[in-house]
Amino acid sequence: MLDVLPRWELLRIINYNFSFSEIDYFVVDNRLPFQLETLRKLEIPENKVINISQVQYLQATELIIPSFLVV
């Protein structure tokens, strides 16, 4: 999660049409206490968090994935 947080911020800064409040769900690996605390500090409601370790598959119409830039 530590490598994803800066990329989320870059997405927020770069894309002016993008707002975290518009996101339906955040799919994360939040098994450790510091990860849960980080989500709380980012003001991401618990009901919008899906723990990837607790689901086998997901279906979405649109995904926002903060990934590394490939040059």
- 63 inside domain: no
- 37 inside domain: yes
Could you tell me the residue range of the domain that residue 49 belongs to? 4-54
Predicted confidence at residue 47, as pLDDT, reads 92
- 59 inside domain: no
pTM (2 d.p.): 0.71
- 64 inside domain: no
Number of domains in the chain: 1
Mean pLDDT value of segment 64-68: 73
Q: In terms of Cα–Cα distance, which of 67, 64, 66, 68 is closest to 24?
A: 64
Predicted confidence at residue 17, as pLDDT, reads 66
- 70 inside domain: no
Residue for token digits 């605390």?
A: 37
Encode pLDDT of 27-57 as tens digits.
Answer: 888 778 888 888 888 788 889 999 888 888 8
Q: Between 32 and 18, whose confidence is greater? A: 32
Q: In terms of Cα–Cα distance, which of 71, 50, 69, 57 is closest to 11?
A: 69
